[in-house]
A = this chain, B = another copy of it.
Amino acid sequence: MGKGRTEAFSDGVFSIAITLLILEIKVPPFLGQSNRELAWALLSLWPSFFAFVGSFATILVLWINHHGLFTLAEHATPKCLFANGFLPLLVIFLPFPTALLARHLTGPGANTAAVVYCGTYVLTNISYYLLLSAVASPQSIRKDIDSALVQRIRITYMFGSLIYIAATIVAWFHAFAGVLICSLPWLLWTHLSYSNKAGQK
Contact A12 B20 (CB under 8 A): no
A187 interface contact, C-beta 8 A? no
**A96 to B25, Cβ gap below 8 A?**
yes
- Known A38-B104, A92-B19: A85·B112 in contact at CB below 8 Å: no
A82 to B190, CA, bound (A): 9
Determine if A160 is an interface residue (Cβ-Cβ < 8 Å). Answer: no
Query: How often does this chain occur in the complex, in copies?
Result: 4
Q: Which residues of A are interface residues toward B (Cβ below 8 A)? A: 1, 5-23, 25, 27-30, 32-39, 42, 52-53, 56-57, 60, 63-64, 67, 70-71, 77-78, 81-82, 85, 88-89, 92-93, 95-96, 99-100, 103-104, 107-113, 116, 190, 195, 201
Instruction: List 11 additional contacts besides A57-B85, A82-B190; criterion CB under 8 Å.
Output: A1-B201, A5-B67, A9-B14, A17-B19, A27-B96, A30-B103, A30-B104, A34-B108, A64-B78, A67-B81, A78-B201
